A and B are shown apart, each in its own frame.
Chain A
Amino acid sequence: MKFTLSWLKDHLDTTATVEQVVEAMTMAGLEVEHVENPGEKLAKFTVAKIVEAVQHPNADKLRVCQVETKDGRLEIVCGAPNARPGLTTIYAPIGAYVPGSGITLEARPVRGVVSNGMLCSARELEVAEESDGIVELPDSLAVGTSAVEAFGLEAAIDFEVTPNRPDWLGVRGIARDLAAAGLGTLKPDPVAPTPGTFPNPVEIKVDGQACPVFAGRLIRGVKNGPSPAWLQQRLTSVGLRPINALVDVTNLISYDNCRPLHVYDANKLTGGFIEARLGREGERVEALDGQTYDVGPDICVIADGSGAIGIGGVMGGESTKVLDDTTDVFVEAAWFDPIRTAQTGRTLGITSDAQYRFARGVDPESPVHGIEQATQLILQLCGGEPSEVRVAGQAPAPPAPFAFDRGYVRKLSGLDVPAARIDEILTKLGFKVDGDTVTPPSWRRDVEGKADLVEEVARIQGFDALPVEPLPEIARPPGGALTLRQRRMRDARRTMAARGYAEAVTWSFMRRDWAGLFGGDQPELVLTNPIASDLSTMRPSALGNLIEAAARNARKGFADAALFEVGPNFRGDQPADQWTAVTALLAPHPPKHWAKAAGDPLFALKGDLMALLEELGAPALQVVQGQNAGWWHPGRSARLQLGPKVVVAEFGELHPRVLKALDADGPMLAFELNLDALPEPKRKGVKTKPALELSALMPLRRDFAFLVDAATPAGDLVRPIQGADKALIDDVRVFDVYAGQGVPEGMKSVAVEVVVQPRDKTLTDAEIEALSGRIVSAAEKAVGAKLRG
């Protein structure tokens, strides 16, 4: 909302400048967006008088004028037909920037005659949207008067109102707060009741559900038409468009006192009554914006004998609107339910000044005051004879009094404010203070209890005055501030970054069909109001987003992506359905290198996953191949399991079908690790590590080559060998896998190096021989492996 300093001064006796007002508003809780100063761009423009105007010697449509200006008498060329001797208008000197035409004036000959400035139209000055000829001003204005003064231009303060303070949507409400904050004195309310001279002939009916209270009055014999300059200026200064005096009065009061009103041409009302009720099925209203709206049973309408004629609290109707020829006017001041008005605005897609105010909550006790303020202005501007005021219905109950212990100000805010000052602040804000009982004013329905009063006192006293007091010391959590999950997220993040992956943060949502590709497009996870259709579904996995990110980078020429994300995935809409994943994606397009690197990048990825698991303190996991979900390459993917059920991670190459669907060039490798599936560390609390036993004896290395079925996973050979002698065997490593010549069809040779660590004495040849025998038989027993001859 906008207002001007002069408008504020109608209500506040103050010498404050715009800057001081802005500062005081900010510190009272009114967020000023900006100050719009239309006069700034017109600083160089002044009033001038045309003394003489003659035909330009070389151009039919131009006139050469002698103009009395603040810079003396000047010759100025002008193309306006109304450039005539004696006209008082606006002069722009050489060097001035003309805002409406975007030109900076230069002393240049116009068809051979030098023009020493310019005479301006209202459009060129941006004081009107269109204009005909140059500005015509009253002759009473002296030459040299600034254009700003001539047009009565004023800075408009544009501010944002928080939803709890609808009273700030009226200038008087702002003045009240500023007065309490010490910026001046609130002037007495200028509105006095005007007695009616005849009974109100229009019957008013309300349906309390739709509209609790409705006040109205007929004023007959008015003379409508354009409102006077001061009123038009006031409205335009805050961005409102003047229409006619009767309508302008209602708009003025809406901004002045946050009291929206509506005026009807009484002679267009039918049936002798007006009522506020809920709409009916199939009922429609043609509103003042020219649109026709369906007003069903959820919407409050204003109706007369002809049916609905307006949308209550939102917008009046075309059929009963006041025009310049209106002679009898019916003034409505009602109170519409905020929630219903807000819903109506949303349902119909209408936002109006009235709707905005009613939705936030207008003072329920203001209808009669609003009628009286309108009466005063209408009689002043349009004459006429007012009827008595008629009120139907009952305003909602005013805020109830409650007990207030002034010591609570100190307790909650830390501010020391004397009791008398507390009472002064509250009283100035309109609260009734009676001993230990406080009653909020009717316009402060946001105030419910003592904490609200602390806010009132603290903000008016000034938040600058708040003390600064250190938090009391407390014991730090002995295990650190992080939960186990958060600790693991942090460790995972830094491990992955250390291993060369760049951390991405991608949306928690994705395209629904893509979510389906990763096993999740349950209807309960599809947003009803997504920001875009490709962000509609809570992701079952971050893989899709990372694939898309890698593809996007590739399209920009950066195909070699190694990305990871640590974040939530969703199985359902319950808190327990959310799980935390570390997801990594590798698009292996390493730059060419003079020393060619070899090897399947899938195993580099597996190495990164194993390193991450080790960093996270994961126990030994089982590699299970052939059971991965459908978005993995069936032959080049596996799971890491803890026992038969718990899948800790899946890794491998992504299925080309999925990459194609996501418009990504393969191959891409990935893993997805479920942090929540990792067991808690066994040893909590005590951090000592198991004792380290270092053998003084050299370890021995023995190589074995086994023939196994080609389908046997090498890992299945390693585990039994490890188990052949847990005390002596330190490590078993596969160092070669071979199939082909010398190896029978359907078989492969797997070469393993076994590291044997003697514990307390050197092993004899016989002992080594016996160990080898155990290794060979364990391998045979487990997977039918035969030692290769």
Chain B
Amino acid sequence: MTRISRTPQWLYGWLLLLPSAVLLIAFTHYPIVRTLYNSFFTTPRGRIPARFIGLENYQALLHDEIFLRVLVNNFLFALGTIPASVGLALLMAVWVNGTLPGRALARTSFFTPTVLPMVAVANIWLFFYTPQVGILEKMLAPFGIHGVNWLGDPSTVLWCLAVMAVWKEAGFFMIFYLAALQGVPPDLTEAARIEGAGRWYCFRRITWPLLMPTTIFVLLNATINCFKLVDHLFIMTKGGPDNASSLLLYYIYETAFAYWDTAYASTLTVVLLGLLALTALVQFLYLERRAHYR
């Protein structure tokens, strides 16, 4: 007892933090700092060591057409996936939250795509989209739509991948909404109903504001995911045709591990980190203030 009281409290605090701090520093903070550091150097090759070049890698970014292309692609991909998957998630959650026959089955089936690994999903959808023999071709044939080369046409490929991502993601976000909906006190809605409020009004003025913290969480996750999820590109398009479906993280992978240009890959990673940090900041500082927490 006496020995414990002699040890300062703060030491205990630090000791308790130590395991996670070590992991965080070793696998998150140090790599970030190192990435930033590397982005100011050239890539070492064989016997030629890395050389300091200041901001040259960043200047190269501005003239890199593929980089600009993947940036635009990523923006479009975000636009195509985030509102759709969050909206769909909310819709499904509200639906399976009510009383309907076979509710458990509906919940399970909505959640199933989330459980599948992305690589498996990509392999399945690759065949969906295959011209001539794919299921999409067969479904659309009665409507006179045929021979569309969904993944082989630069104007459709990105949207095809977005649809797949929405399908994959919506079920996951639905779970969060479902949990939040269960937490909405029924007396609020009941009181409003007595006052003569309609269903839509109730949703708009009671449920939606109470779901705001969940929406922020889900939006943040959806944004991060659309930068983070690139597994399907390896299977389905390899970023093609002509980079029409390539995303930032996939380009980073190519640069680092196919071209072995680690310095430029570091530079691209810094951009990605910056974008993600910015998203997090906007959502936490701006949206958070408008959210209603109990």
Is B a genuine binding partner of A?
no
- Chain B residues engaging chain A, CB cutoff 8 angstroms: none
